[in-house]
Amino acid sequence: MRRLITLSIVTASVIWAQKPESKQVEVFGQRIHYLEAGSGPNVILLHGLGADANNWVMNTAALAQSFHVFVPDQIGFGESDKPPINYRVGTLVDFLDGFYKKVGITKATVVGNSLGGWTAMAFTLAHPDKVERMVLVDSAGYSFEKLGTPKPNIETMDGLNPSTVAGSKTVLALILANKALATNQAAEQLFATHLRNRDGYTIERFIESVHRGEDVVDGKLGAIKVPTLIIWGREDALTPLAEGKLLAAEIAGSELVILDNCGHIPQFECAAPFNGTLLKFLNGTAGQPTASKQ
């Protein structure tokens, strides 16, 4: 992969059935880069912290066969502008709403991984009329108090904003179930991408926002009424499965599908079962039989 964690060992195997078109639009005076492919009902894919649109490189082509897919670099990440502001989830919600308006979307299915899932929930709460369905993939969003876990100090959380190759390798080992993929080469590529994207300031501000407990979804999820699918990697060490089960318990009518041998980014590490699960949900049919449903 060229971005996300840039695991080049699989790059050559990715062949687009329909290569997405690279575009940009201006929201609040800031350039937002995005990929667009396919036609049909709208689907928006939201990446997580420190990632970009290429977070979904293993999924976009499969979705584009039946859906109109939009994959933005959220403000502060990837090829989008990076204004020096105090980033928080509320920032991403406002920019997503602006993105809707600028590209002419009135309603869409919103799919988000990690920080992107948190954004999807916050956006659905703020703009329920603009969301057809919601898909949460190893999503963040709860406060540490809600999860019953001690709040880590800023220094510990700064590990998600690596400043060395060794730190990048630690991040890979944290987010991947298959530790064999966390090679020195992959770590070097992740570090190079992090530097090229110049997203360190953005990540630092988000870490501080999370530490302050801003925009958490505690006590709010009962207001979500749209059909919701929750996909979780069973071996996720960053946002453990217990969080996915809590989301499923609090979002009425939601379905939780657990993918075995997957970590924090199942859309990449377990792309085939992930795509099958997502497409079946989007098409209104049952979950993927190779996944565990709880």
Judged against a pLDDT cut of 70, whether residue 1 lies above it is answered with no
Q: For residue 231, what are its two tokens? A: 């996909």
* Res 284: pLDDT: 87
In this model, does residue 4 exceed pLDDT 50?
Answer: no
Q: How far is CA 171 from CA 26, 185, 203, in A?
A: 32, 14, 14
Q: What is the pLDDT of residue 211?
A: 96
What percentage of the chain carries pLDDT values higher than 70?
90
Q: Which two tokens stand for residue 96?
A: 């997503």
Q: What pLDDT does 2 receive? A: 38
Average pLDDT score over residue span 11-31: 75
**Dihedral angle sign, alpha carbons of residues 231, 235, 239, 241:** positive
Q: How confident is the model at residue 286 (pLDDT cuts 50, 70, 90)?
A: very low
Cβ-proximal residues to 289 (8 Å cutoff; 6+ apart), any chain: none
Question: 290 falls in which pLDDT band (50, 70, 90)?
Answer: very low
Question: Is the per-residue pLDDT at 14 higher than 60?
Answer: no
List, in order of start, the domains of the chain with CATH numbers: 8-293 (3.40.50.1820)
| In the predicted structure, residue 9 carries a pLDDT above the cut 50 | no
In the structure, what pLDDT confidence band is assigned to residue 16 with cuts at 50, 70 and 90? very low
Sort strands 255-259 and 292-293 into parallel, antiparallel or unpaired: antiparallel
Average of per-residue pLDDT across 66-81 = 98
User: What pLDDT is stored for residue 285 in this prediction?
Assistant: 60
Decide if 121 contacts 246 (C-beta within 8 A). no
Grouping H, G, I as helix, E, B as strand and the rest as coil, residue 38 is: coil
pLDDT in tens, 87-105: 999 999 999 999 999 999 9
217-257: per-residue pLDDT in tens?
999 999 999 999 999 999 999 999 999 999 999 999 999 99
Query: What's the whole-number mean pLDDT along residues 194-210?
Result: 97
SS3 percent helix, strand, coil of the chain, rounded to 5, is 45, 15, 40
pLDDT of residue 5: 41
Is a pLDDT exceeding 60 seen at residue 12? no
The model's pTM is 0.92
Considering only residues 114 and 293, tell me which one the structure prediction assigns the higher pLDDT: 114
B/e letters for 151-186, b = 16+ CB within 10 Å, e = fewer, are eeeeeebbebbbeeeebbbbbbebbbbeeebbeeeb
* pLDDT surpassing 80 at residue 289: no
Return the percentage of the chain with pLDDT > 90, whole number.
89
What is the SS3 assignment for 23? strand
The pLDDT, as a whole number, for residue 294 is 53
Average pLDDT in the chain: 91
pLDDT at 170 over 60: yes
Query: pLDDT tens, 105-137?
Result: 999 999 999 999 999 999 999 999 999 999 999
